[in-house]
Structure 1
Amino acid sequence: MMSTRVNDEPAFVLHSIPYKETSLILDVFTRSYGRMALIAKGAKRPHSVLRPVLQRFQPLAVSWSGKSELRTMTKAEWLGGVPPLVGDALLCGFYLNELLVKFIAREDSYEDLYEEYAKTVHLLGQDPKELEPILRPFELSLLKEAGFAAALNFCIDTQTTPEEDEHYVYQPERGIRKLQADDPGHWPVMTGKHLLCMNDKNYQDPETLIQSKALTRFLLGLHLPDQAMMTRQILIDLKKI
């Protein structure tokens, strides 16, 4: 049973909605407890100590108590270290948050994914010129952690690591296997070399980025229609992802 009181848990605010006149209901992503629903009482008051702290894309230490699905936040402190996201990087931040809300259930721990999210937000805070090498690793980590993508370093028909010069497809509900002449044309085709680069989060080769884009669009399309992701469609239209 989850503890009724948690202190100083690393977290990020994903989303907030007003509650009554002075409070907020927050969807927060925590390192040890996953997504949590917290009520921040009085956070909308002009002089509330919580009001300037509860910002998206900023690392926090949060405390809460309670047994219901909606816990009560008792404290939140800003940990610093991440510049505010601006421009396209800010839009990408909203995209990350939308992905988390759509793909992971509440109160399931995703510690590795939390660390990947924190790293990605930090990189976006550096005002990068290239966004795809930052977004791709997070997308694939999310899909694998949430159980929507198979391992990229394992071929299901040979039961071995992909060979660099061979061509492979991603077969829905199964995973990576060698390309066959009668495979559907919409399945993404990738070489073993670039699959292994994706698995190692190495996106220095532009061809790895091209093949990973085809793969992530395919996987996201399988499990989440484009129209359900507003920021994703905006980024696609702007050719940012």
Structure 2
Amino acid sequence: MATRVSDEPAFVLHSIPYKETSLILDVFTRSYGRMALIAKGAKRPHSVLRPVLQRFQPLAVSWSGKSELRTMTKAEWLGGVPPLVGDALLCGFYLNELLVKFTAREDSHEDLYDEYSKTVHLLGQDPTDLEPILRPFEITLLKETGFAAALDRCIDSYDGFEDDEHYVYQPERGIRKLQADDPGHWPVMTGKHLRCMNAQDYSDRDTLTQSKSLTRFILGLHLQDQAMMTRQILIDLKKI
């Protein structure tokens, strides 16, 4: 059955040319997840879509169709985000790579969409400290897509964390208390900083350090040999 959707909040993640005048877009929407849309005539010089379909800008998009590739019928710029520049722009591409690799098409993640929107707005302020902006998005992504086991409780007791206790992340299980024979490559965190991570409080630099260890470990487990170009650039620049 053909579908018709109007004025759906969305961001363009990626676009590729299609034929002479059109674009195929990978669009992240709030209610429908990632959608493949064809924007017919968007490459024409006087197309109303051409100036609108920019990455990292909030849009309201409309489409119709019944195949996997729907037809965009309208797109409006909602404004409010300055163009990303410099390291913030690299971070934006990193967010988009994560979404493409960790989310399936037409799988709704409203909380993740809201976190992405918030993160893009923060990056639009051209911050000098990027880690406190990126960490909450990474953790939300891993939670919402099911690639991380529970991060908000100890699996030993299914209870909260004790501030001075040390914990590890055990793959496929979650957070538990550190044991003497645990593998050395498992990330170690204190209860205090785990609570801060779950509250999205990164005011303590130790919370940032421990959350970086955790997210790199979990992302690496699932990416395996898949290359993420922007992530490696940012690591080389010591930005994440």
Q: What's the TM-score once normalised by structure 2's chain length?
A: 0.98
Partner residue of 1:117?
A: 116
Distance 2:142 2:6 in 1: 29
Distance 1:226 1:130 in 2: 29
Distance 1:182 1:225 in 2: 25
User: How big is the shift at 1:164?
Assistant: 0.8
User: How big is the shift at 1:162?
Assistant: 1.2
Distance 1:233 1:4 in 2: 39
Partner residue of 2:238?
A: 239
User: How big is the shift at 1:150?
Assistant: 2.1
Matched, 1:53 2:52: yes
Q: Give the counterpart letter for 1:213 in structure 2.
A: K
User: How big is the shift at 1:151?
Assistant: 2.4
Distance 2:4 2:196 in 1: 42
SS at match of 1:159: coil
Distance 1:150 1:240 in 2: 26
1:71-110 equivalent positions in 2, closer than 5 A = 71-110=70-109
Q: Give the counterpart letter for 1:114 in structure 2.
A: Y
Q: Deviations over 1:121-149 (max 9, x none)?
A: 00000000100000000000001100011
Q: Give the counterpart letter for 1:152 in structure 2.
A: L
Give the % identical residues. Answer: 88
Distance 1:21 1:159 in 2: 57
SS at match of 2:135: helix
Which structure 1 segments of 5+ residues have no match?
none
Aligned length: 240
User: How big is the shift at 1:225?
Assistant: 3.0
Partner residue of 1:199?
A: 198
Q: Which moved more, 1:142-151 or 1:126-135?
A: 142-151
Which structure 2 segments of 5+ residues have no match?
none
Partner residue of 2:39?
A: 40
Q: Is the 8 A contact 1:66 1:72 kept in 2?
A: yes
- The list of structure 1 runs, each at least 4 consecutive aligned residues, that deviate by more than 3 angstroms after superposition, is none
Partner residue of 2:21?
A: 22
Partner residue of 2:208?
A: 209
SS at match of 1:228: coil
Distance 1:227 1:234 in 2: 15
Distance 2:77 2:138 in 1: 26
Matched, 1:222 2:218: no
User: How big is the shift at 1:228?
Assistant: 1.3
Q: Give the counterpart letter for 1:166 in structure 2.
A: E
Q: Is the 8 A contact 1:65 1:71 kept in 2?
A: yes
Check 1:227–1:238 CA distance in 2 against 1; reply closer, same or farther (3 A cut).
farther
Q: Which moved more, 1:5-14 or 1:146-155?
A: 146-155
Q: Give the counterpart letter for 2:62 in structure 1.
A: S
RMSD: 1.0
Q: Deviations over 1:198-232 (max 9, x none)?
A: 00000000000000000000001100036510000
SS at match of 1:12: strand
